[in-house]
Structure 1
Amino acid sequence: MVSSLLVEALSSPTDVLVSFYDTYDREAINEFPKAVARYFSDIFRTEEALLEIPPLIPLRSLSSYHDRALVRFRALVQDTSPSPEMYLSKFRDGRCGGWGLLDSSQSNGDDTEFDYNDLRDCTVLWAVSVPGETVWYQTVSNGDVIDQSELPPDGLLRAHKYPIPKEAHCGVQIKMYGNIGNDVPKTADVLNFVGILNNEPQVLVAGSDEAMMVPTLHVLFTRDHRLGIPKAPEDLTQQHIGEELLDWIADEALGGDRDAAEWVLLACTSRVQSRARSLNPLSLTLAHFPSPMSSPSAVPTLSRVLSLLLPLQVTLPLSLDLLNSVPFAPESVNEDLHSGYLQLAHGTTMLMTEGGIQEGKLVERGVLNVRAIQQVISTQTLAYKFPFSEFSFPTDISFVILAQGTKSALFQTDFTLPLNPSSTSDLYKPKSNIKLPSVDKLDAFRRLVLSAKTGNIELTESISEHIQEDFVKQRRADNAISPEDLKQTITLARLIGLTKQEGVVTLEGWEHAKEMNKRRKARFT
């Protein structure tokens, strides 16, 4: 049964906010913003209730929402550098202040008398639609709310603050009233912001007096976002589905190369396991990947297939012109943080193609971009450039690179696997030619991928001892094997176990990892 309070909050969140303020204990007024967050979060405590709130999505014009509408916005925090703003927690007539409410007690708007004790700080951020969020995952997460009859998207306001140029997205100023100090969201965090939407003037250029109206979300509460999809039918066992998934990736995107399909799957499901021990996502180069015969800008079928499986996936066709012309790492320009291709949410898979790289010269910008990409691949950190300093922020991005030669032309990855397809004719086929599995089976594929990407696996003491003894034997037979090889093979064994939904690394998984690497090396001979 739907509560009347929920219905009222959906239709008029401002009235509910004001009513709550009117009944709130004035002795605890300093805690009011936190109380608001608890109050509204409780109203929408269930997933079903939360999905009743209209979402901000790129396919719907911001102007189609009525003024002070209640909305939810799953977004990436792009910029935390704007200075906090001050607001009146209450107006002269005692009414509630903040959350974009106006003081109607001022007769002509020129009366500036107020009690300084009523001033509070408001945190200001800029947030954008999660870059690389795939269409199927948007639909699942937003509750099937995408309506093709909606109005077209607005012009790309402040497009320089979105990582992927010219892609439709929402960019919104965020104002938070209860998150101060260490509670403020961090750059590249992904959160569900729920609040009241209006338009407010903002000075967009430092030192200028000219302001323009920007969409502003006055946050009532936030909710963490975790990757997840509905369960697959019980009769589709994970082992059976895992084998079918590898076959499907190989047949549809990699010319039947099943080994390549497994390497790609492991790379896409890997994530940062431990920053302290540098257990970063497995990075992979698929070598000898042919360039498209039709057009240099043709999209590889692998990109389309991965977008059907992964929640967050970005395809980046590299060229010297692109590397030399735009920043890949965020940088501050006139006190405004411009985004870059690498400012992505944790859990994103980036597929980079090198088919567009021809002979030429990397200028300074290009060299800096290559260094930034390599830094993320190797250390999972990204340096943000400010006028007099640089600050590194943690990332968690998986990389798969498609290279024409025997290795990547620009980057070092953990593993390089020469592609060995039975046919190259389908490596760039159009989306309409991809043979899709049934809806239930595709959902099971997605569940397996997400379970592997978000799951945990244990390396027991007995297996660890076996691996150490086995490694000593390998070193005796081949002194070229290094401790780094051991770490990478253990990473492979962990990923293999996760894709099989196993809670611990097994001897079979360890042997499987060794055999995979052996077959990979054999392709170079």
Structure 2
Amino acid sequence: MTQSTNIVANPLHVLENLFEQSISNGDRPTEFDASKYLEDMLQSDLDLAKIPSLNSSNPATLPTDSLVRFRCMVQDSNLGPEIYLKLHEVSNATNGEKKLRCTKYSDADVSAIDQFNEGRIPNEWLDERSVLYCVSPPGESLWMKQQDHSSVDQQLENMSLGEVNHPESDPHSTNKFPLLGVSHSNAVVKLYGADRNIEVGSRIEVIGILSKPSHNSVSEDSMDDFDLPKASFPNTPVIHGIYCRKVNSMDILPVSNDEIGAAKQQACDLRAQLLEYLGNAFGGDVMVAEYVLLQLLSRVYGYLHSFLTVRLITLVLTFRFVSISELQNVAHLHLDSFPLTSLSFHQKLRQHQLKMEIPTRKLVPAFVELPLSLDVLNTTNFYPRSNDENLHAGVLQLLDGTTVLVDETMLKEGTLKEQGVKNMRALNKVIQQQVLGYAYPFHEFDLSTDIGFIVLSRAKSMFPCHCVVPLSQSAGVPLLASDDNGSLKVAENVLSNFRKYIHILKYSDYDIPQAVSEHIQERFVETRKQAASESLPLPTQDDLMLQLNLAR
């Protein structure tokens, strides 16, 4: 059995051997850290595909104390810190020889350790670890999930011929995933050393030892510093993180330097093909495809201007379903600020939503549909809030890079209750400022977001947007053959090129030339003067930010 296979199948045994080698070399036992060893293994002969992923495997089918990986979002970082026993002494029954054992990456049963019961544990044998509640990425697209699939042999090993008994869900975990009713993976992740300082809402990839749910570390009867009961998760799998890295937006889709160079060289051809693909969903309307592509390429961007950091917000699009007569009534508007386009669509608005959703979901890493019905607004939470020291997820607790389709067409006349008003404020705040509020009993704090929004409306949108694109009922002809869902038939390798093109251009560094910046600001000032002289609505600062964002 190779070394890489050893650590996958029996990581605790490998770590114990490493610990013994470390102290035999004269190292202090308290300094033992296996993260460097595992990181070196990942760069050499240990293939990630050999490690089962909780994103695609049922924890019930995986052996306890095996090595697993989990690509996830930190939903709650307020479950710890936790004091644990990382070392203890054992005696040889034959010769009485005493030996130190490492229990760092496990939940040691302290009730069976005599030194602990007798109060003979040195302080240096105790340490602190962070406890996080993590969930699989909300709204993740299928093509992203497929990256976690292991080899066929590994999948067969994880399969069981009998009925799989899924662990019973914990009462405290029912509100921990942002999207209600959506299947997902979850785990309590325990982090050590330098990996401990990871904030809520982060995207992380952790590799560690799968443990049975712990009843004694975060128990229902335990109290925090304020004598409040902590939430317990006795049926949720536990991962003791050996290696953990924070994944930024650029690393969501790994691309090589060669792929970056090829995408930039083929940018014109890829853009034309991509517009054709998107336009097909809208009856051949390439203008609509242009706006959708602009939205997919936009992101929150901060740059230094006159010693101040200017934060450019993502492009917010509103697609408004209108009739031909309505289009004629707005024909006097300036086409640059209110583009008039056409769209062929069926009678039901749901079919329009699918036309928007299907091609977009195949291109972005995560996509969430948010229907704004009165029932949804009044009964769900859009923002995370703490309830008895347990952070309940909100619909908008999403990872950066997620695209949200906000459907206002579902809204009908009725009463918007207090919760609905709070939800509308939270949604408006994320759309306008790209910050999401986290509500705790005695305080509230905001975290920055980078979420793309496309709004569907039958009237004037309730939310501020940069572009309103009317979609009429005039007939249109699809550009190319489509499948049963109305999505353009394209090969998977072509879709892969589209994704890399969007990803590379979206997250590549860029500079707005000084001449372009000055020209845009001069036009902005001139437009305001002209609007004031003609008693027209004045352009806002958001309009200036939009022009700077599009200039890149």
Q: Under a length normalisation based on structure 2, what TM-score does the superposition of the two structures give?
A: 0.79
Where does residue 80 of structure 1 map in the other structure? 77
C-alpha root-mean-square deviation of aligned residues, in Å?
3.3
Where does residue 238 of structure 1 map in the other structure? 267
User: For this pair of structures, how many residues does the alignment match?
Assistant: 482
The CA distance in 1 between the partners of 2:110 and 2:175, in whole Å, is 36
Look at both structures and tell me which one has the larger radius of gyration over its CA atoms: 2
Whether the 8 Å contact between 1:159 and 1:166 is mirrored in structure 2 is: no
The CA distance in 2 between the partners of 1:488 and 1:209, in whole Å, is 44
1:390 aligns with 2:444: yes
C-alpha change, 1:485 and 1:211, in structure 2 (3 Å) is closer
Q: Secondary structure at the match of 2:127?
A: strand
Where does residue 137 of structure 2 map in the other structure? 130
CA shift, 1:240, in A, is: 1.1
Q: 1:228 aligns with which of 246, 249, 253?
A: 253
One-letter amino acid matched to 1:238: A
Q: 2:494 aligns with which of 426, 441, 450?
A: 441
CA shift, 1:30, in A, is: 3.7
Percent of matched pairs sharing the same residue: 29
Where does residue 464 of structure 1 map in the other structure? 517
Whether the 8 Å contact between 1:328 and 1:341 is mirrored in structure 2 is: yes
The CA distance in 2 between the partners of 1:209 and 1:301, in whole Å, is 42
1:71 aligns with 2:68: yes
Where does residue 95 of structure 1 map in the other structure? 101
CA shift, 1:102, in A, is: 3.4
1:453 aligns with 2:506: yes
Where does residue 24 of structure 1 map in the other structure? 22
Whether the 8 Å contact between 2:11 and 2:67 is mirrored in structure 1 is: yes
Where does residue 176 of structure 1 map in the other structure? 191
C-alpha change, 1:47 and 1:313, in structure 2 (3 Å) is farther
CA shift, 1:471, in A, is: 4.5
Q: Deviations over 1:44-91 (max 9, x none)?
A: 12597233211111x432101101110110010000111211111211
C-alpha change, 1:355 and 1:18, in structure 2 (3 Å) is same
Where does residue 519 of structure 1 map in the other structure? none
Whether the 8 Å contact between 1:232 and 1:444 is mirrored in structure 2 is: no
Q: 1:55 aligns with which of 53, 56, 63?
A: 53
C-alpha change, 1:380 and 1:433, in structure 2 (3 Å) is closer
C-alpha change, 1:359 and 1:453, in structure 2 (3 Å) is same
Where does residue 330 of structure 2 map in the other structure? none
Q: Secondary structure at the match of 1:121?
A: strand
220-229 or 194-203, which deviates more: 220-229
Where does residue 469 of structure 2 map in the other structure? 417
Q: Deviations over 1:464-506 (max 9, x none)?
A: 3444455555556555445543321121122xxxxxxxxxxxx
Q: Secondary structure at the match of 2:112?
A: coil
Whether the 8 Å contact between 2:80 and 2:129 is mirrored in structure 1 is: no
Query: Can you give the 5+ residue segments of structure 2 that lack an aligned partner in the other structure?
Result: 91-99, 222-227, 304-308, 324-344, 533-537
C-alpha change, 1:88 and 1:61, in structure 2 (3 Å) is same
Whether the 8 Å contact between 1:296 and 1:355 is mirrored in structure 2 is: no
Q: Under a length normalisation based on structure 1, what TM-score does the superposition of the two structures give?
A: 0.83
Q: Secondary structure at the match of 2:439?
A: strand
Where does residue 282 of structure 1 map in the other structure? 315
The CA distance in 1 between the partners of 2:278 and 2:233, in whole Å, is 50
The CA distance in 2 between the partners of 1:419 and 1:209, in whole Å, is 48
Q: Secondary structure at the match of 1:78?
A: strand
Q: Deviations over 1:258-290 (max 9, x none)?
A: 222111221122211018423111111111279
Whether the 8 Å contact between 2:284 and 2:476 is mirrored in structure 1 is: no
Q: Deviations over 1:96-138 (max 9, x none)?
A: 0221153699379994544141111111110000111111012
Q: Secondary structure at the match of 1:316?
A: strand
C-alpha change, 1:12 and 1:423, in structure 2 (3 Å) is farther
Where does residue 147 of structure 2 map in the other structure? 140
288-297 or 299-308, which deviates more: 288-297
